[in-house]
């Protein structure tokens, strides 16, 4: 770890928002009275913290915000398609058979819908694994005290929604849908928060992002343990051995990415045949990817200075310097930056198009309104996420386990807890695993879509209100 990181203020912890006194003296409020966002100011600094954590995080947030818009468009397109006069073609299209074979050996034999959910989504979960690895090694999950509050909040946001769903479906045939309301959609949630802009402290955005990442970890465990069936120990053992091979290669510093890609494909194939859902292979390979750079930050800067001070520069010198500087970024970071746009702008919208389609007729909506599946999913996301995230967060602060930064109020916490109820990508993914195509699956989708819409609008209103109250408190006489 470089000295720059050690001098950055105890790692990558977010600086506390300024007190009203400091804000009144040093900052000018932007037009509209919104409080300036001080939570992410370290990103602009020339420090190891900004380069290794801040700027990748800003890039990540920008992509997630854009993905939220594409997800919304894909969802609307799916709903229009299903409910149009050519609605039957929706099901027919996604059930087109797809077979991938090598000579006479069949590698993959499913329909287009299965290809999206089992193959393309493995890449989505691979990027999720890379994000988790980055957070564990260099991000906010690296230190226990920074990870504690969002981890506790995520735990509450998973347990309470699941219990609410179980309460409505205990003893019924659809109890296995309890995992549906547990997930938070990062893209939609970050997109909602971005609409509030300067009204939300930067710490709260990072809190939501970290919470969603911990939430993803929980969802991955749930999928692996509870939504896998007919486990083949032979295939699972082969997948495990291939993962060990990846770990050995990273240990001896073999960095040829085509080799890892080939082994990763075999891990996915073995997992697909093992009975464990194939997307777990993506997570496993992502977590095994090295998240520490070969070159230290100081080595990269020394290489740049060496190149600058040379009187004559050859092509070999430039290549050598370029290699040295490039190696100051970890393999995980480079893969995440390279793959994230394709996953976010292509795979996730295609997944939404393939899974969000549900027929909305008078009969189906009336049936959903009285369905324990729809009610359990909707209340799990709306009430369960709010009570679980906000309740566990405030309980942790009351017990002295952690504290809220200056400028973050309880109403902020409630607002971001409501936004956490926007469950989409992973919620629909678990819906596809929990229910066969039929009435229960459609009812779960309606619950996810309805709850996500209400959570987005309500969360937006609450966060905006919290921001206005904060501005009023700062502007009140005697606050400066």
Where do runs of H (alpha helix) occur along 329-438?
Answer: 331-342, 348-355, 362-369, 372-379, 385, 391-398, 410-419, 425-434
Any domain includes 272: no
235 pLDDT band (50/70/90 cuts)? very high
Q: Which residue has the higher pLDDT, 378 or 173?
A: 378
Task: Tell me the average pLDDT across 428-457.
Answer: 91
Q: Are residues 335 and 310 in the same domain?
A: no
∠ Cα 84 90 93 (to 5°): 150
**408 and 342 share one domain:** yes
* 360 and 305 fall within a common domain: no
- Residues 284, 322 within the same domain: no
Q: Is residue 98 part of a domain?
A: yes
pLDDT at 418: 95
The residue among 309, 327, 345 that closes a domain is 327
Q: How far apart are CA 210 and CA 329, in angstroms?
A: 22
Reading the block at residue 339, the tokens are 């793959």
pLDDT for 386: 96
> Is residue 244 included in any domain, yes or no?
no
Considering the domain architecture, whether residues 368 and 458 belong to the same structural domain is answered as yes
pLDDT tens column, 240-252 = 999 999 999 888 8
d(CA 14, CA 9): 9
User: Do residues 413 and 427 share a domain?
Assistant: yes
Report percent pLDDT > 70 for the chain: 77
Residue bearing the bigger pLDDT, 262 or 54:
262
At 7, the pLDDT band (50, 70, 90 cuts) reads: very low
**Cβ atoms within 10 Å of 241's Cβ, excluding its own:** 11
pTM of full prediction above 0.85: no
Assess whether 341 and 408 both reside in one domain. yes
- Quote the pLDDT of residue 243: 95
Nearest residue to 385 (alpha-carbon basis) of 217, 227, 211: 211
Specify the pLDDT at position 284: 92
d(CA 331, CA 289): 7
Regarding whether 307 and 347 lie in a shared domain, the answer is no
Chain-centroid distance of CA 414 in Å reads 20
Is residue 188 located within the same domain as residue 306? no
Residues ≥6 apart with Cβ < 8 Å to 92: none
If you average pLDDT over residues 332-356, what whole number do you get?
88
For residue 185, CA distances in Å to 127, 198, 444, 458 come to 14, 22, 16, 16
**Residue 177 near residue 441, CB atoms below 8 Å:** no
Higher pLDDT, 375 or 309: 375
- Assess whether 216 and 307 both reside in one domain: no
Structural domain includes residue 400: yes
Report the CATH number that the domain containing residue 431 is assigned in CATH: 1.20.1530.10
Q: Residue 231: how many CB atoms within 10 A of its CB?
A: 11
pLDDT tens per residue across span 24-60 = 333 333 333 444 444 444 444 555 544 555 555 555 5
Identify the domain containing residue 311 by its residue range.
301-327
The answer to whether residues 334 and 322 belong to one domain is no
The two tokens of residue 117 are 């959910």
**Does pLDDT of 9 surpass 50?**
no
Considering the domain architecture, whether residues 283 and 323 belong to the same structural domain is answered as: no
Three-class SS of 180-220: HHHCCCHHHHHHHHHHHHHHCCHHHHHHHHHHHHHHHHHHH
In a domain, 24, yes or no: no
pLDDT, greater one: 476 or 349? 349
Q: Identify whether 16 is part of a domain.
A: no
Q: How many domains does the chain have?
A: 2
254, part of any domain: no
* Nearest residue to 432 (alpha-carbon basis) of 356, 367, 369: 356
Can you say whether residue 33 is alpha, beta or left, with left for phi > 0 and alpha for psi between -120 and 50 degrees?
left
Measuring CA to CA, which residue among 190, 184, 183 is closest to residue 63?
A: 190
Q: 10 lies in a domain? A: no
């Amino acid at each position: 770890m470089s000295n720059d990181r050690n001098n950055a203020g105890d790692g990558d912890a977010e600086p506390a928002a300024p007190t009203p006194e400091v804000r009144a003296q040093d900052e000018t409020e932007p037009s509209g009275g919104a409080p300036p966002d001080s939570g992410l100011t370290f990103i602009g600094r020339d420090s190891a913290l900004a380069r290794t954590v801040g700027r990748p995080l800003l890039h990540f947030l920008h992509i997630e915000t854009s993905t939220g818009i594409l997800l919304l468009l894909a969802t609307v397109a799916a709903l229009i398609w299903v409910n149009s006069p050519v609605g039957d073609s929706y099901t027919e299209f996604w059930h087109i058979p797809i077979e991938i074979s090598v000579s006479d050996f069949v590698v993959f034999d499913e329909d287009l819908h299965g290809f999206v959910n089992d193959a393309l989504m493995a890449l989505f979960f691979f990027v999720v694994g890379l994000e988790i690895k980055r957070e564990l090694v260099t991000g906010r999950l690296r230190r226990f005290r920074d990870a504690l509050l969002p981890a506790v909040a995520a735990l509450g946001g998973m347990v309470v929604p699941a219990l609410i769903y179980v309460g409505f479906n205990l003893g019924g045939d659809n109890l296995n849908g309890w995992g549906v309301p547990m997930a938070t959609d990062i893209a939609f949630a970050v997109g909602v928060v971005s609409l509030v802009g300067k009204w939300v402290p930067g710490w709260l955005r990072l809190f939501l992002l970290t919470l969603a990442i911990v939430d993803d970890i929980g969802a991955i465990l749930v999928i692996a343990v509870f939504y896998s069936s007919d486990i083949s120990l032979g295939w699972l053992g082969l997948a495990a051995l291939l993962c060990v091979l990846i770990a050995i290669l990273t240990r001896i510093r073999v960095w040829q990415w085509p080799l890892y890609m080939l082994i990763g494909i075999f891990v996915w194939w073995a997992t697909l045949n093992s009975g464990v859902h194939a997307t777990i292979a993506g997570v496993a390979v992502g977590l095994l990817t090295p998240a520490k750079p070969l070159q230290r930050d100081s080595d990269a800067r020394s290489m740049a200075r060496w190149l600058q001070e040379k009187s004559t520069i050859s092509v070999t010198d430039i290549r050598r310097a370029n290699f040295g500087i490039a190696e100051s970024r970890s393999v995980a970071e480079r893969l995440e930056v390279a793959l994230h746009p394709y996953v976010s702008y292509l795979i996730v919208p295609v997944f939404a198009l393939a899974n969000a389609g549900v027929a909305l007729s008078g009969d189906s909506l009336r049936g959903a309104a009285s369905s324990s599946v729809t009610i359990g999913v909707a209340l799990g996301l709306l009430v369960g996420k709010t009570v679980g995230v906000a309740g566990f967060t405030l309980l942790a602060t009351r017990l002295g386990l952690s504290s809220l930064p200056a400028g973050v109020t309880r109403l902020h916490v409630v607002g971001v807890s409501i936004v956490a109820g926007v469950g989409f990508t992973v919620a629909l993914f678990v819906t596809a695993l929990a229910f066969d195509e039929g009435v229960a699956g459609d009812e779960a989708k309606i619950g996810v879509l309805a709850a996500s819409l209400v959570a987005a609008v309500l969360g937006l209103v609450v966060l905006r209100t919290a921001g206005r109250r904060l501005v009023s408190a700062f502007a009140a006489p005697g606050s400066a």
